[in-house]
Amino acid sequence: MEYKNPIKKDVPNLPPSGGKRVKGDPMKIDINDKLRDLIPPQTEAETAEFERKLLAEGCRDPLIVWGSIATLIDGHHRLSICQKHGIPFDVIEVEFESFEEAKNWIIENQLGRRNLTPEAVSYLRGMRYNVEKQAHGGDRTSEEATGNDSHLPTDERLAAAYMVNAKTIRNDADFATDLDTVTKNCGQEFRTKLLGRNLRVTRQQLKQLVKLSLAEQRATVKEVIKSGKMPQEPAAGKDQPKPAKTTKPKGEISVPAEPTGLAAALLELRGRSYLLKVQKALAKLLEEETESKE
């Protein structure tokens, strides 16, 4: 969904309906959790700097709310600080045709910001894909789902819009889903730090984290936040005993049992050339097994 809206001097990228400026009343503004969670949270340092700026300069940029229902669309961080210190602010009322249109506008607006990390950009692109896929029941080629590019699947259309390939969009969608799952189970701090590049967690490690039990997941996330990186082995929950340490014979390595994880671990540990040798060896073994059964 593309927005070809009139550009306002004080508020760029308004929805197609434009908007009107009115005085803000914090008591009448509604916060929708699903819309709020689309916005990457600020770090403590960013919040402190933003608060300092608002106290010194006032709230120059109006908040954006969805029509008469006054659901906040843009300005969640500003509203919180303004409410805390009694700082006056204006709002601009805009209209959306659907909840999905409001979601997509928020995502696009966030992607237009300059201070996003590559992780945050990937997360927002993935959310955009997931929003549209869910909104249209998985029909990625309908005219309603894809607008002017109705001949393209959603992943290809978004890939063209963001100048990446379709596989990147699908990987972004998996990343967003996995991160939202861990955030729901373990709290916002993990997402904030990961999107702010304060944690060294790969996408493969994130997938492995999602597969843990709830207790193991929470214990591992707690350790990750403390150390800044994934532990060698997932942390055991309170109801899960820690595995006994074992001495591995020389030349042996520990890898996931799941096929995709096994391949990824071998690639990371031993490199492409080693993995190609394993592939040839497996092909030969399977061929010999087939011949022996004939």
- The torsion angle over the Cα atoms of residues 237, 243, 248 and 252, rounded to 10 degrees, is -40
Q: Are 15 and 98 in contact (CB under 8 A)?
A: no
C-alpha 82/C-alpha 225 separation (Å) is 30
C-alpha 65/C-alpha 87 separation (Å) is 18
C-alpha 226/C-alpha 229 separation (Å) is 8
C-alpha 169/C-alpha 110 separation (Å) is 17
Read off φ and ψ for residue 282, nearest 5 degrees: -65, -40
CB neighbour burial string for 149-161, b if at least 16 within 10 angstroms, e if fewer: beebbbbbbbbeb
pLDDT in tens, 3-62: 333 223 334 444 444 455 555 565 678 999 888 888 877 778 888 999 999 999 999 999
Beta partners for 74? 64
Q: What is the pLDDT along the chain (294 residues), one digit of tens a residue?
A: 333 332 233 344 444 444 555 555 656 789 998 888 888 777 788 889 999 999 999 999 999 999 877 899 999 999 999 999 999 988 898 888 888 889 889 999 888 877 788 999 999 999 999 988 876 655 444 444 444 555 678 999 999 999 999 999 999 999 999 999 999 999 989 998 998 888 999 999 999 999 999 999 999 999 999 999 998 765 554 555 555 555 555 556 666 666 776 777 777 777 777 778 888 888 888 777 776 665
C-alpha 196/C-alpha 225 separation (Å) is 12
Rg, the chain, Cα only? 24
Question: What global pTM score does this model have?
Answer: 0.63
Residue type, 148: N
Read off the DSSP letter of residue 202: -
Q: Which helix (H) or strand (E) holds 220?
A: helix 214-227
C-alpha 76/C-alpha 109 separation (Å) is 13
By C-alpha distance, which of 42, 62, 196 is closest to 119? 196
Which domains, from first to last, does the chain contain? 1-115 (3.90.1530), 116-231 (no CATH)
